[in-house]
Structure 1
Amino acid sequence: MILPAPNVRHFAVLAATVRHGSVTRAARSVNLTQPALTQAIARLEAELDCALFERGSGGMTPTEPARLLAPRAEAAIAHIGSPRVTGTQMRAFLALARAGSYAGAAEATGLSAASLHRAVADLSVALGQRLVGRHGRSIMLTPAGERRVRGFGLAMAELRAGLAEVAAWQGRAAGRIVIGAMPLCRARWLPESVLRFHAAHPGVDVVVVEGSHAELAGPLRDGEVDLMLGALREATALDDLAQEAVFEDEPAMIMRADHPLLRAPVVDSDALLAYPWILPPRGTPLRHYWEDMMRAAGAEPPHVGIECGSVLAVRELLLGSDALTLLSPAQLAVELRGGVLKTLPPPVPVTRTIGITTREGWRPTATQAAFVAMLREVAADEFA
């Protein structure tokens, strides 16, 4: 069960009751009366359709669903950072931040712009912070607003995970997995993993969000994406992200089937400089590998007239010109099998590490962990 605007107080009550094991102590810790705390637990049990505690003379003993949900609730409350924030305020502020305007947020949530204005204003008052500013007709987040967006996003991710774990315990559909997919993983690794996983877990939704590392790292940090797949980065630049190497990829030089370079007696620095190159933008791992390859072959990397990260676009550009690119053969496997494109090994071997990137300290649900295990299994089968 996924709540669009979770009742933060109810989850705080659950966490406190599990932590203290007593209605009296739990009520005191969250500044509620005992009847109000008991009522909050009853409402959450009704929403989840399961008992969260066994009541007895010795106190409140948490059931398995409560034990699954309580750590997620504790983490969510820590990310929210204030007992005065409501789920409605969080939902409104996250919608505003992601849409960039009250009109867009209203369309995304189905709430009126006036309601969103009021919720965000109330949130600013509750936190004692200015969260939103204006730049002409656009809204922009203040530094405090940006920090709150990340905290609220992570809080919602924890609650979604907790609710998914309870649903799985109940034998119902267990939520969804959101995957950030960089270019290489889309060719074979991710599709095969999704096919196998979906066959074993048909009740779990899988959402694939395509993008570059720069486009996906933010949503991953904010809790909108669960894990990111693709070429790994230098660990020193990712102190809040964890990387797991899964397999090594060896890019090749790729060109059209009747390219003149295929008839060259030797592929030396002069041959590499004789043709235009199509490559991803500066700062990407593949561009760095190409630059290192060129220098190792004795040539200073030339100007790249066409920068492109789309494999579909690169394919058409290669077919219509004498251009070269450096890509994994898996990304153009159909064209290579069909004989319309050809590969040559680079004069200096190029290897890049492909793997899984997650938030530091990420605690996957059982189904998320099963998907990660499937990723490892497919990589061992396909790329070992």
Structure 2
Amino acid sequence: MRAIDLLNGRLKLRHLVLVVAIADQGSVLRAAEHLHLAQPAVTRSLREVERILGVELFARGPRGVTPTLFGEAFVEHARAVLAELRRAGERITGLADARVGAVSVGTLLAGSNALLPRAIAALKRDRPGVTVTVHEAAFDAQVPRLLDGEIDMIVGRLNPLGGRAGLRQTALYSEPVRLVARTGHPARARAGLTLAALLDYPWVLPLPQTSLRRELERAFHGAGLGLPGDVVECTSILTVRTLVRDTDMIAALPELVARSGEGVAPLPVPLEGVRRRVGVTLPDRRPPTPSARLMLDHLRREAAALDA
């Protein structure tokens, strides 16, 4: 197959924007509406791209279009190019006027409930003109967006990279994980409370693919116990705290969270060796924008205060 030269001037930036819009919208018509263009113009531009590449990017169907194997590959690169151009614009703006800019942060569902809000508040006091956008999702869902440049960093509990290339992590602080229950929980009246005794009650556990779930499983197995039988699986801290406060459920929460909610308090049962390491995940080879560097500085300062 011939080598495709995409630097000969035939491929335009508008082609990249159009292909990504079609992939996102799942339809040429919806992409045209999204881009405020006429459908024939979008169809014509898509055919131009396909002629340049010599392949079909989308398979047409009765309910819209889906990317072909070639389309998936091209859309991935198109997203990365557009993200880099957005970052270039933000960087130039930041260099020209340090008072404005933008930073996009990914945080985990069981993420940095204390650190990130404090760092954002400090950044906004320092630079009110900087726009901060926070995206909440699981770590595995955040990584592609980080690599594509859609977000600047991931903040929260550090997850193993699992051999993923192009990423680096920095730990910011560490805190113990505590077992919690509502203040009027019947287990508090039991003498010599143990982890085994807590299996008599319902639990809220993190999802199986999370680091905290794996650490809890090791703690149970280390004590010669199986997992609780009556379980709700959830990673939303707000939902977990509400369930614990309003029912007899037991959960494992970072100490800062465990001590911050009314009606919920730690139980006198230690979880040896279970800690939450909070930090930031960054792209290994892409330098941060000026606004992202400011956010990192504030994250480090606030983490130092939490760790003090």
TM-score normalised by length of structure 1: 0.72
2:266 to 337, 340, 343: 343
Residue aligned with 1:175, SS: strand
1:194-231, CA deviations, whole angstroms, 9 ceiling, x for partnerless residues? 11111222222111111111332222222211111112
Please give the alpha-carbon distance, in whole angstroms, between the structure 1 residues aligned to 2:219 and 2:21.
Answer: 45
Q: What does the per-residue CA deviation read over 1:155-175, in whole Å, with 9 as the maximum and x for residues that have no partner?
A: 222222222232233337643
Q: Which amino acid aligns with 2:132?
A: V
Q: Which residue of 1 aligns with 2:289?
A: 365
Q: How far apart, CA to CA, are the structure 2 residues paired with 1:83 and 1:333?
A: 60
Contact 2:259 2:265 in 1 (8 A): no
1:90 pairs with one of 16, 24, 40: 16
Counterpart-to-counterpart distance in 1, 2:123 and 2:249? 38
Deviations for 1:249-305, whole angstroms, at most 9, x for unmatched residues? Answer: 321111111112222223334213211211222111111111111111220223463
Contact 1:278 1:314 in 2 (8 A): yes
C-alpha contact (below 8 Å) 1:167/1:173 kept by paired residues: no
Query: Relative to structure 1, is the Cα distance of residues 108 and 215 closer, same or farther in structure 2, using a 3 angstrom cutoff?
Result: farther
Amino acid at match of 1:274: D
The residue aligned with 2:232 is: 306
SS in 2 for 1:207: strand
Structure 2 Cα separation of the partners of residues 242 and 359 of structure 1: 6
Map 1:159-238 to 2 at 5 A.
159-171=85-97, 174-238=100-164
Structure 2: stretches of 5+ with no match in the other structure? none
Counterparts of 1:326-341 in structure 2, within 5 Å, are 326-331=252-257, 333-335=259-261, 338=262, 340-341=263-264
Q: Please tell me the residue identity of whatever aligns with 2:223.
A: A
Higher RCO, 1 vs 2 (CA within 8 Å, ≥6 residues apart): 2
Query: Which shows bigger deviation, 374-383 or 162-171?
Result: 162-171
1 CA distance for matches of 2:270 and 2:31? 49
Q: Residue 376 of structure 1 aligns with which residue? A: 300
Aligned pair count reads 303
- Structure 2 letter corresponding to 1:262: R
Structure 1 residues 240-251: aligned runs within 5 Å = 240-251=166-177
Instruction: Tell me which residue corresponds to 1:286.
Output: 212
CA distance in 2, matches of 1:249, 1:101: 47
Q: Using a 3 Å threshold, how does the CA distance of structure 1 residues 172 and 382 change in structure 2: closer, same or farther?
A: closer
SS in 2 for 1:183: coil
Q: Is the 8 A contact 1:164 1:174 kept in 2?
A: no
Give the superposition deviation at 1:148: 2.1
Distance in structure 2 (CA, Å) of the matches to 1:97 and 1:265: 60
Query: Cα gap change, 1:107/1:360 in structure 2, threshold over 3 Å: closer, same or farther?
Result: farther
Which structure carries more strand by proportion?
2
Flag the 1:268–1:373 CA change in 2: closer, same or farther, 3 A: same
The 5 Å alignment of 1:79-158 reads 83-134=9-60, 137-158=63-84
Question: Is residue 243–residue 355 contact of structure 1 (8 Å, CA) maintained in 2?
Answer: yes
Secondary structure of 1:250's counterpart equals strand
User: What secondary structure is seen at the aligned counterpart in 2 of 1:247?
Assistant: strand
- Distance in 2, matches of 1:135 and 1:300, equals 49
TM-score, normalised via structure 2 length = 0.88
Residue identity in the other structure for 2:133: V
AA aligned opposite 2:46: V
Q: Distance in 1 between matches of 2:7 and 2:199?
A: 56
Tell me how far apart the structure 2 counterparts of residues 249 and 143 of structure 1 sit (CA, whole Å).
45
1:355 match: 279
- SS of equivalent residue, structure 1 residue 233: coil
CA deviation profile, 1:19-43 (whole Å, cap 9, x unmatched): xxxxxxxxxxxxxxxxxxxxxxxxx
Between 342-351 and 107-116, the greater mean CA deviation after superposition? 107-116
For 2:222, the equivalent position in structure 1 comes to 296
Contact 1:132 1:141 in 2 (8 A): yes
Residue type of the alignment partner of 1:343: P
Whole-angstrom distance in 2 between the partners of 1:173 and 1:155: 26
